[in-house]
Structure 1
Amino acid sequence: MEFSLPETVEFDLPLNPFEFMGRPDLADLFPNAAFSVGHIKYDVGAGEVTLNGRLLNDDQKTALAAACRFVSEQRRKEQH
Structure 2
Amino acid sequence: MEFDKYIARRLIHIAERKISENDYVAAKKFVNMAQSLYPELDGLKQVSTMVNVCISASSKTNGGGEVECNKDEAKKSSGYC
Same-fold call, TM cutoff 0.5: no
Question: Which is richer in strand?
Answer: 1
Q: Give the structure-2-normalised TM-score.
A: 0.31
- Bigger radius of gyration among the two: 1
Q: Give the structure-1-normalised TM-score.
A: 0.32
Question: Which is richer in helix?
Answer: 2
